[in-house]
Amino acid sequence: MIENFDNLRQILENLSSVKMAAKLHDLGKIPEQILNKCGPLDEQEWKIVREHPSIGAEILEPIEPLADLVPIVQCHHERWNGSGYPAGLKGIAIPLAS
């Protein structure tokens, strides 16, 4: 329980980073024709969807003032149970701000 409060404290201390990451999280944007597709996505389209967090992180990485946002952007589609993407991270391996 105390660990959860420490995590909350960390988020509050880094709130400006979280706000900025929220604005930039889809920087490696998915093409509109895929986002707006009515039917199911094919394998290549899913590959593009799964890669967009990594593309966004790669764009931000060389920008020194935004370096702390890279893990947040990289992991914003990861899920606690490991079913997310791009890396299939689980639990505490996922940055809390993501």
SS (H, E, C) the chain: CHHHHHHHHHHHHCHHHHHHHHHHCCCCCCCHHHHCCCCCCCHHHHHHHHHHHHHHHHHHCCCHHHHHHHHHHHCCCCCCCCCCCCCCCCHHHCCCCC
Catalytic residue (choose from 19, 23, 29, 37): 29
Q: Is position 29 annotated as part of the catalytic site?
A: yes
Please give the backbone phi and psi of residue 28, each rounded to the nearest 5 degrees, phi first.
-85, 50
Which residues are part of the catalytic machinery? 29
